Amino acid sequence: MFILSEIQDLVRIPPHSFNIPIQHSITDELNKKLANKIVPNLGLMITTWDLLDIKDGLLKPGDGGSYVEVRFRYIVFKPFKGETLTGWVTKCTAEGIKLRLEFFDDIWVPSEYIGEEYEYLQEEQAWVWKTDNHSLYIEVDEKVRFRVEQENFYNIKPKNSNEAMGIDEPADKAPAYSLTASLLGPGMGCVSWWD
């Protein structure tokens, strides 16, 4: 679910941070710049793990900051295809189930990845698995086990550029990073069914 990714970047250290040890200043600036951001084809950036190499700082005319080239490792949320995760249901529709983790909420289980033995009940807004003598429900706020089927990256333009041009954003536009998941296979579905 998490990987360590090695990255190289140029970091600006502001003058007010010159009295702080360089490792702390760089870590703070990297986390301001990257934490909770999506990097295309990499994943959701979480936090700095360690600093591998720090070059000498350079000054630019007219700027009081110091520019330091840094090679570092960063913790990234990037589940692999086929990985089993546990999350919570946030929405059930006839098209599928929307799931979330504690820190990530763009997970979608399309109806074709739920299973033939399940059916959607519109009046209850829940998916139900009917066995021989029981009906097992998947409802909002249920804890479920699912398998990652695919990562989806979309190129999203910054809000400010579209607003400046007078372009209205569609309300249901795709997120920059999402997961397609499935409930197919043994042990998938509500965690309470298998305890």
**Do 48 and 107 belong to one domain?**
no
Sign (positive/negative) of CA torsion 7, 10, 16, 17?
Answer: positive
**Do 184 and 107 belong to one domain?**
yes
Which of 15, 50, 77 terminates a domain? The answer is 77
Record the pTM. 0.80
* CATH number, domain with residue 161: 2.40.50.140
**Do 94 and 31 belong to one domain?**
no
Show the domain range for 140: 84-194
Quote the pLDDT of residue 55.
92
Quote the pLDDT of residue 194.
78
Ranges of H-type helices in the chain: 22-34, 159-164, 191-194
**Do 92 and 173 belong to one domain?**
yes
Pairing of strands 143-153, 189-190: antiparallel
Quote the pLDDT of residue 188.
87
**Do 40 and 122 belong to one domain?**
no
Which of 77, 98, 120 terminates a domain? The answer is 77
* CATH number, domain with residue 18: 3.30.1490.120
3-state secondary structure of 77: strand
**Do 91 and 184 belong to one domain?**
yes
Q: In total, how many domains does the chain have?
A: 2
**Do 165 and 88 belong to one domain?**
yes
Quote the pLDDT of residue 160.
63
Task: Check if the beta carbon of residue 144 is closer than 8 Å to that of residue 111.
Answer: no
Which of 77, 92, 127 terminates a domain? The answer is 77
Quote the pLDDT of residue 121.
85
Q: What is the CA radius of gyration of the chain?
A: 22
**Do 153 and 186 belong to one domain?**
yes
**Do 62 and 109 belong to one domain?**
no
**Do 27 and 51 belong to one domain?**
yes
**Do 159 and 72 belong to one domain?**
no
Quote the pLDDT of residue 170.
57
Quote the pLDDT of residue 110.
94
In this prediction, the residues of the chain whose per-residue pLDDT falls under 50 are none
Q: What residues form DSSP beta bridges with 126? A: 121
**Do 9 and 50 belong to one domain?**
yes
